[in-house]
Structure 1
Amino acid sequence: MKNQYFYEIEKKYNEIKPDIEKRLNEYKEIWKNGTNEDIHAELSFCILTPQSKARNAWKAITNMRNDGVLFTGTSEELTEYLNIVRFKNNKAKYLVLLRQQMTNKDGKIITKDFFESFKTVTERRNWIVENIKGMSWKEAGHFLRNVGFGQEVAILDRHILKNLVRLEVINEIPKTLTKKLYFEIEEKMKKYCKEVGIPMDSFDLLLWYLEAGEIFK
């Protein structure tokens, strides 16, 4: 299934492979050595990313955390920090709901402990989509990748889908992504990654680099 476009991006992959692997190791370190609050910040970040720039979303999370409101602020207080992302009012409410879900009876954030209780990445992803307001399959995959569990999950945004079309993995960008269609494309992407010898989490970062010119989150 290798076409001319693949050989073009394979060259870029070989150039930036050390940077991709370094970033993926950093993601794994976040889970290995991070606190409940660190993992909660990563999950909160993925609530902010839809239709917004990743750097702006992370800047908002960092500012809220530095000012002590990410874990304590009302939705109105959080909204003040979200002018740099889209749908700030809804996302502020989602952040508060998430915090309530991830706080135990003693008032402690338990996000990492909670997700450690699941046996598989699939179970974690399903729970996120079914229970966290503002997160779909894409955002759930984004979070799991950012904490080191991206080997088997795809983050199917328009940038990735566009490149999958160019690589002839799929025929067209779907107008809507149902659960069934998301999983079908994910399986095609898994199969393709195995065929070309690039791990799926590495492949995702490669395609993001081609769009954004950097390897971020």
Structure 2
Amino acid sequence: MADLGAVLKVERLLAGYADSPVCGEVTVDLRPGEVLGVVGLNGAGKSTVARTIAGRQLPLSGTVTIQSVPVSPDAVRFRRSVAAVFDDDLFFPSLTVREHLLLVARGHSMENPDRTVNAELEFFGLEGRADVVPDALSSGQRRRLLLAAGLMRPSTLMILDEPEQRLDPLMRDALAHRIAGHAQDGGAVLLVTHDPALLVSVASRCLVIDDVVNEVKPEQGASTIARS
């Protein structure tokens, strides 16, 4: 397909470690308003591909561009455009939940940061834990804090690596609505998931990661991850 208007364009990407690819070549593009589901068996390389696209590690070969510009995590334009949430609980140990979110809101020059943070605390059920440090949170609460920080900030491309992990069913449903809303507002989403319900409810297209990488319909991707 033509790359006109593509937010993300990946061409013949090989992702892996020590010159050893974890899966086949990835070629795909993603446009505003689309949610690309990334699925595959455990250990297939989904997270490695996502981390490479996000600039967290270098590709073995191939190219990744975001808004026609090569990935550069240190560049202001990249940091303003891309919000990524991975399963790594990286927090400042001396900042409270509220202070973490205020740091994100003010760092991205969001209007009414206090009001925005209060809305996120309510959405993710963290109002009662707003004034504690991350070490005082449960595993699920830390996950919700990570998601709040990633979803609240403006972004053109959102990269989510198994965001459903450690969330209860009600919060998974709320997350699905949030992802769908981001796409409806013109954002693009790269979603790595093992949750068939989340995949079918939000994905426009689906990329199956394996020795050979293929694009399928979301309902086919749901069948694939149900077997993983």
TM-score of the pair, normalised by structure 2: 0.30
TM-score of the pair, normalised by structure 1: 0.31
Q: From the two aligned structures, give the one with the greater strand fraction.
A: 2
Q: From the two aligned structures, give the one with the greater helix fraction.
A: 1
Q: Identify the structure with bigger relative contact order (alpha carbons < 8 Å, sequence gap 6+).
A: 2
